[in-house]
Structure 1
């Protein structure tokens, strides 16, 4: 209902917002777990300027959907069956079928308990636009590929992008560590402190090598840095943050135990690190750069870069989630917003082009609808 104040001299009535009449654009958000955000609520009330289609947000984890994709010959290149909770009853599930217009990824594709790259391939096959890009998410599945990009940036910029001296070994057979002790070894591409060990000397390293033979994984090794504090530089679109983290539990893995975190100013060198890292793999919209302050030489060394699943500081999460939402809306506007009209071509070609465009739009309208299917189709 309209406010009545305008009847009594309170000004003209506010114009009512025109309801979007086109088929919904489905945003698939891959974010589940105890620290996940409510993205339906975050996107509530938001729409794309100049696009006559409302937004539909579907949120789930990597285990909660199946994907089928076709090539460019199909009007529906990617179809996703998603298992979602029934409103008002989180225990009950129903399955909806959507054609994702965009994907926001906030969970790791690969973890200790799963490897869902096959589903990532399906989204890539359908060329679904996303944040971060699906190509970059695929590259981040293996730590040595990310480190290779960091090595390239470091060679280009030298001390302005300082890395820890790290060595890579394809298996236990090639493993021979020749740097200083204590050392840190990292097996495979596990996250959150898993797969990492601190090795005191050569004898302990030989014991580790025997365990690596059983694991049959690649690994990296680097000198242990006695750090005064850790740094995390966060970049979401054009928004930057910097944090200092100090352990209060005494463990050398400051990211897995109790620690004190404070937000600090984003120095020019920190912004430079994030900007250079954001160029990796064709561009990263969401990233964090982790670094450590060496107590011996007073220098700050970059340890690693994290991509689309980068964790957020709880006290800033609501604000940063809004930045991510706005980033997604911006990327979707680029993808689905009104494109500049090409120069008109006289004669038959122009008419044929108009007819083809109308046919394509009609097909899109038909395929964009949502339907419910039997939950048994998506049981793992």
Structure 2
């Protein structure tokens, strides 16, 4: 009975009369938060059950309420972009939200569209590029990117190379130059070119020797074992197998013949017993080196447990990266993987033009990469405003009048000065002539006075 009384008294503020007698009410002390109480359960149930005489609080289901809450969170997390916002295409999976690195209210707006290669549908012309993103559970989005960036977790395949070529043909800017991107699409040919480079100290880049099969049919017997077989430019340890003898090599050969049917690209490299491996990465002007030691029994250092630490970068390794950048063109992001054998010899195992994230500096590396992209999308600096022709004309006329006024007195003074100088020159001759006439008359007077006497 008390349960229904409480429920009816709950709607007292809505105009319903309370059936509870104030004199019979008892004040219950609240239970501690950690204690189990039937009273709290009854209160929760009573808050969800409507009284027989009152209307139901809500007719929507729990799923609808959840969906509305999720939509509210999505709308709050994705701010509305102005129509003049720059559009950046980030090709990466959804593990990291790259849009948070471009939310700066003090700078120009950047709209980030993030998707992986399999989710992209690209339409390319000689002057423009249209991208459509088809992601599960979301409506298709069509836009025109003004810049693009390939993230560290993008899916690499033959399809990805085709999409990148179309973007390059449309003139979409990337962090690296187009010439370097085209060179890195064929790493086997690039490595052959890098072997011929001569460094300033007359040394060469110590690339690991390889045997390349562009269209694999069968193996040529290697001279030494063990070897590492890579299929289709094995990436991050995927698509690689260690072969210890000729029997295992025959087994791998049969598998590749059935799977590839002559369309598989295969590489064979000598196996290096590692002491540790190095990853040297350049992002903008920042160069970092990471040392990794595998502590598991797996022959791949990136499989199983390993110890990673950041060490100072060797000047020799900086020369390697600089030589690669000079050869292929401008590169803001470049990295090399170096294998160090137990004898201490170094072998450059791989070169990359895609950012890789290691250790505790991952957040800093993402921010450095976003700064490079922001510089690409930055609008050109505004030129100083030129005054209009209406303002220039009166000023020009006033200056011309002032110049004429300054020149006019000087022109008028020149004849006056010349005349005054002529008068000054003529005055001495006149005075000399008058004095000469006075002397002559005086002499004549004195002569006549002596002869005829004083005439006066």
Q: Same fold (TM over 0.5)?
A: yes
Change (3 A) 1:154 1:290: farther
Residue from 123, 130, 141 that aligns with 1:96: 141
Secondary structure of the residue aligned to 1:337 is coil
Shift of 1:179: 3.4
1: CA distance, partners of 2:173 / 2:296 = 42
1:1-380 alignment, distance < 5 Å? 23-34=84-95, 37-45=96-104, 54-72=109-127, 77-83=128-134, 92-107=137-152, 111=156, 115-153=159-197, 159-173=203-217, 175-214=219-258, 215=260, 216=262, 217-296=264-343, 298-308=344-354, 310-333=355-378, 336-338=379-381
Shift of 1:99: 1.8
The answer to whether the Cα contact below 8 Å between 1:290 and 1:303 also exists between their aligned partners in 2 is yes
1: CA distance, partners of 2:322 / 2:88 = 27
2: CA distance, partners of 1:46 / 1:234 = 31
1: CA distance, partners of 2:225 / 2:382 = 58
2: CA distance, partners of 1:340 / 1:221 = 57
State the match for 1:366 in structure 2.
none
Change (3 A) 1:46 1:266: farther
When normalised by structure 1's length, the TM-score is 0.70
Change (3 A) 1:45 1:339: closer
Structure ID, larger Rg: 2
Q: How many residues align?
A: 301
2: CA distance, partners of 1:130 / 1:276 = 21
When normalised by structure 2's length, the TM-score is 0.59
Moved >6 Å (runs of 4+): 154-158
Change (3 A) 1:337 1:178: same
Q: Which has the higher strand share?
A: 1
Structure 2 residues without counterparts, runs of 5 or longer? 1-80, 385-456
Shift of 1:273: 1.8
1: CA distance, partners of 2:198 / 2:159 = 30
Shift of 1:43: 1.0
CA RMSD, Structure 1 to Structure 2 (Å)? 2.9
Please identify, of 55-64 and 320-329, the stretch whose mean Cα deviation from structure 2 is larger: 55-64
Larger RCO (alpha carbons 8 Å, 6+ apart): 1
1:213-242 deviations in Å (ceiling 9; x for gaps): 233323221221111000100111111100
2: CA distance, partners of 1:46 / 1:178 = 60
The answer to whether the Cα contact below 8 Å between 2:176 and 2:332 also exists between their aligned partners in 1 is yes
2: CA distance, partners of 1:31 / 1:111 = 10
State the match for 2:452 in structure 1.
none
1:127-148 deviations in Å (ceiling 9; x for gaps): 1111234554454344413323
Change (3 A) 1:42 1:108: closer
2: CA distance, partners of 1:142 / 1:121 = 12
1: CA distance, partners of 2:257 / 2:82 = 61
Change (3 A) 1:109 1:312: closer
The answer to whether the Cα contact below 8 Å between 2:94 and 2:115 also exists between their aligned partners in 1 is no
Q: Which has the higher helix share?
A: 2
The answer to whether the Cα contact below 8 Å between 1:141 and 1:189 also exists between their aligned partners in 2 is no
Please identify, of 187-196 and 116-125, the stretch whose mean Cα deviation from structure 2 is larger: 116-125
Change (3 A) 1:172 1:99: closer
Shift of 1:282: 2.2
The answer to whether the Cα contact below 8 Å between 2:86 and 2:109 also exists between their aligned partners in 1 is yes
1: CA distance, partners of 2:274 / 2:372 = 34
State the match for 1:369 in structure 2.
none
Secondary structure of the residue aligned to 1:324 is helix
2: CA distance, partners of 1:101 / 1:253 = 39
2: CA distance, partners of 1:330 / 1:340 = 18
The answer to whether the Cα contact below 8 Å between 1:67 and 1:78 also exists between their aligned partners in 2 is yes
1: CA distance, partners of 2:155 / 2:216 = 23
1: CA distance, partners of 2:211 / 2:105 = 47
Change (3 A) 1:209 1:339: farther
1: CA distance, partners of 2:106 / 2:116 = 24
2: CA distance, partners of 1:210 / 1:65 = 35
Shift of 1:79: 2.1
